[in-house]
């Protein structure tokens, strides 16, 4: 089944907003060009929402919240069950559009959608997640119990690299908790969020619970400044995450801001070499390296692992990028020319800084797509901490290799890095693995797994400069983020107990 909204966009060439339960054409005079990253073909024009449209979205969300908050959780969840069924039914359709506007391979796009669906499935258990606590006789004849309440209008500001998964981290859980939501997705791939929103409406949710706004920094700031927006979830680059966190908290909002990373994989001498090489290739170049959980630094421990660099090089040289639909491609183009040029500049500067550039993907081309944002697999050896390729998040298909003598040096290296999203260790030693997971100051640790992204019933727990806030995304922490707890103390004197044979209790 083809999305009616995507059909309309193909015809009109313009992406709609979704305000007060309806897709509407923006009245803006400012439009952003949406390009296919593999060909530069113009897909559509994206509106920069007006101040009036932003205000209408907030007012609609505020009005919807007043009624929705009193809907029993079990009824709210029934809508979410319908929504997850529609997402599963239309997964391939969503993935095709996602691949077109991001350049991802179809398999990668399917995974993007599925990881979001898993969070929606977790939200279907909200009846249990919203339960409070109780204790009898906290003092003589005094009982205490707590309730969990929604907080109001929430908002999400999401990045280009996972246009299905990351929005689905946010608004399904917020809405299941009883809130309304304003989604401002990346202007670089808004078609996928349009499809997600269309299915949300098809699931029958009351109008106004979800608003879809497009634009740039001005729309982000409008969300952060609006007094009726109570909580903001963000995923993106470090500088923008810092801005969102500071501005949001200055305006007394709850903010969870997930940012960039520099993720290390520690390779011990006893590790399975084939498993290490395969994991490094997939985790460094998958999704063209455009993910905050990519492994971008391999730390080889001990003298014997130095010989593994040739194996890593040969494996990386065997993969290539390609356009969506190319079943032999390992990954697609970068999202835009600016990103491609930035990665190329970092590659060109690496040699001058003293790194050994074993594979240089700067001049990569793909037959039939001369204008695509291509960067080939890139490998740097003998990288040091003072190099730009180590200090910056490359966000491209590039891997830095470093060498240390001991596990203790590797831990010291990881802990000195300002980022703390994820890290991995590959080893056959349980003692080494336990030491590493215990002593590293990183939010998510993988043991013989390259990308330790937790399942939805846990939380995504980045740390240090990779996360600004107190409560993390999805899992139990997300429920806490989107709710407020009310605690009640009660005492009922025993001499007030009614008595008599005709006493009845009306439960209506």
Q: Report yes or no: 244 and 232 within 8 Å, Cβ to Cβ.
A: yes
Residue-wise DSSP of 116-173: HHHHHHHHTTHHHHT---EEEEEETTEEEEEEEEE-SEEEEE--SS-TTHHHHHHHHH
Q: Report yes or no: 428 and 417 within 8 Å, Cβ to Cβ.
A: no
Q: Report yes or no: 288 and 396 within 8 Å, Cβ to Cβ.
A: yes
Q: Given 154, 285, 292, 400, which residue is catalytic? A: 292
Closest listed residue to residue 182, CA positions, set 49, 370, 335: 49
Active site (annotated) includes residue 292: yes
Q: Which residues are CB-contacts of 304 (< 8 A; sequence separation ≥ 6)?
A: 269
Query: Bridge-partner residues for 257, per DSSP?
Result: 234, 468
C-alpha pair distances (Å), 475 with each of 80, 272, 459, 487: 16, 32, 4, 22
Residue 244 CA, distance from chain mean position: 15
C-alpha pair distances (Å), 394 with each of 292, 295, 318, 378: 10, 11, 21, 11
DSSP at 453 = P
List the alpha helices (DSSP H) in 417-447: 430-439
Cα 399 to Cα 389: distance, rounded to the nearest angstrom: 9
Residue-wise DSSP of 36-56: -TTT--EEEEEE---HHHHHH
| Coil/strand/helix, residue 304 | helix
Cα 9 to Cα 191: distance, rounded to the nearest angstrom: 9
* Residues assigned a catalytic role: 292
């Amino acid at each position: 089944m083809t999305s009616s909204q995507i059909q309309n966009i193909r015809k009109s060439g313009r992406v709609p907003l979704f305000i007060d339960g309806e897709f509407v054409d923006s009245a803006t005079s400012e439009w952003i060009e949406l390009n296919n990253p593999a060909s530069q073909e113009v897909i559509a024009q994206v509106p920069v929402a007006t101040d009036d449209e932003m205000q209408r979205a907030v007012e609609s969300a505020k009005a919807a919240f007043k009624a929705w908050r009193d809907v029993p959780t079990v009824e709210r969840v029934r809508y979410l069950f319908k929504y997850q069924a529609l997402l599963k039914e239309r997964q391939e359709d969503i993935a095709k559009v996602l691949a077109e506007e991001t350049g991802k391979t179809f398999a990668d796009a399917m995974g993007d959608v599925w990881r979001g669906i898993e969070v929606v499935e977790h939200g279907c258990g909200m009846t249990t997640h919203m339960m409070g606590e109780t204790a009898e006789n906290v003092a003589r004849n005094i009982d205490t119990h707590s309730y969990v309440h929604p907080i109001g209008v929430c908002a999400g500001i999401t990045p280009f690299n996972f246009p299905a998964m990351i929005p689905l981290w946010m608004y399904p859980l917020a809405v299941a908790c009883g809130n309304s939501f304003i989604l401002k997705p990346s202007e670089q791939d808004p078609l996928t969020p349009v499809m997600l929103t269309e299915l949300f409406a098809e699931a029958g949710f009351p109008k106004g619970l979800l608003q879809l706004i497009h634009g740039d920094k001005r729309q982000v700031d409008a969300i952060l400044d609006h007094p009726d927006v109570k909580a903001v979830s963000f995923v993106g680059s470090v500088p923008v995450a810092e801005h969102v966190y500071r501005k949001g908290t200055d305006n007394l909002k709850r903010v969870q801001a997930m940012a960039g990373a520099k993720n290390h994989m520690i390779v011990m001498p006893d590790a399975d070499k084939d498993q290490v090489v395969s994991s490094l290739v997939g985790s460094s170049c998958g999704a063209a390296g455009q993910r905050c959980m990519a492994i971008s630094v391999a730390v080889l421990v001990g003298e014997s692992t130095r010989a593994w660099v040739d194996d890593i090089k040969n494996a990386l040289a065997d993969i290539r990028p390609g356009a969506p639909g190319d079943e032999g491609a390992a990954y697609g183009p970068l999202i835009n020319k600016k990103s491609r040029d930035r990665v190329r500049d970092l590659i060109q500067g690496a040699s001058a800084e003293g790194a050994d550039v074993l594979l240089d993907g700067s001049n990569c081309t793909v037959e039939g797509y001369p204008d695509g944002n291509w960067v080939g697999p890139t490998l740097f050896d003998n990288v040091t901490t003072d190099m730009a390729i180590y200090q910056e998040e490359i966000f491209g298909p590039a891997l830095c290799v470093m060498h240390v003598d001991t596990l203790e040096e590797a831990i010291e290296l990881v802990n000195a890095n300002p980022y703390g999203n994820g890290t991995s260790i590959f080893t056959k030693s349980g003692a080494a693995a336990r030491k590493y997971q215990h002593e590293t100051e990183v939010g998510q640790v993988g043991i013989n797994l390259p990308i330790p992204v937790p399942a939805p019933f846990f939380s995504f727990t980045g740390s240090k400069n990779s996360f600004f806030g107190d409560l993390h995304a999805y899992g139990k922490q997300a429920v806490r983020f989107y709710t407020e707890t009310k605690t009640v103390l009660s005492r009922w004197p025993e001499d007030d107990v009614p008595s008599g044979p005709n006493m009845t209790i009306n439960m209506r």
